[in-house]
Amino acid sequence: MQPGLAVVIVGNDSASQVYVANKEKACTELGMYSEKHALPEDTTEEELLALVDRLNNDPKIHGILVQLPLPKHLDDKLIINHILPEKDVDAFHPVNVGKIMIGDFDFVPCTPAGVMELIKESDVSVEGKECVVIGRSNIVGKPMSMLLLHQNGTVTICHSRTKDLKEVTKKADILVAAVGIPKFVKADMVKPGAVVIDVGMDRDENGKLCGDVDFAEVEPIAGAITPVPGGVGPMTIAMLMRNTLTAAKRAFGIND
């Protein structure tokens, strides 16, 4: 049994190119079969759907990942919904989203899954903790909140319309920043001793890679904090590999 992952990228988004290269490298290191389908910017919806169909029907491929964002003329939702749920290793298909909601899931979106693994490996218990997630995206914020809830955390989701944001975040024992604004979370937004997890991947005013948390400000008061780069990012790749392995096991009828 060799797990197989197909990654589809459309256009020339530089961040997406880096992510795809990292996924290819991880597959090679783990002995997984991988395919990269790099399509031009002007690829039509029909062409992309035809490729997804072919991958859906390819027995060598157990996981399909369409790299987001897609060019504006392509409908993300239409493309994602076309991937077979059992091959949707990003866990974006409505069937997999529903399974996460009820707590009976095969796959979890890779970034929230990576965050939960970091919490677990740091011997931090979520149960009974005040958990605050900044950001309500379908990719991170919403599934992140569900996973914390399944671990018996008391979860608050903050967003652009949240009033007195600072007052909410300062109550968090576990704070997850997934807002996409460089160095958004400052020291005065964080409870001393809190676990701070930075999902952001931004560029600062000098073009240097940074996260949503002002690391230099927050590190001295946090009980634990993830850096950017090198924190959640590698975990996202690891969880993609785990989801692909799970999909392959399901395809081969292996239950453990």
Residues known to be catalytic: 23, 67, 90
CA 191 – CA 43 distance, rounded (Å): 48
CA 125 – CA 100 distance, rounded (Å): 20
Give all strands of the β-sheet with 63-66 in edge-to-edge order. Answer: 33-39, 4-10, 63-66
Measured over all CA atoms, what is the biggest interatomic distance in the chain, rounded to whole angstroms?
53
226 and 196 Cβ atoms separated by less than 8 Å: yes
CB atoms within 10 A of CB 144: 28
- Beta-carbon-side half-sphere exposure of residue 105 (alpha carbons within 13 Å): 25
CB atoms within 10 A of CB 81: 15
CA 56 – CA 166 distance, rounded (Å): 46
CA 93 – CA 110 distance, rounded (Å): 13
DSSP, collapsed to helix, strand or coil, labels residue 188 as helix
CA 156 – CA 175 distance, rounded (Å): 10
CA 133 – CA 222 distance, rounded (Å): 16
Q: Please report how the helices 94-102 and 141-150 are oriented relative to each other, as an axis angle in degrees rounded to 10.
A: 30
CA 45 – CA 49 distance, rounded (Å): 6
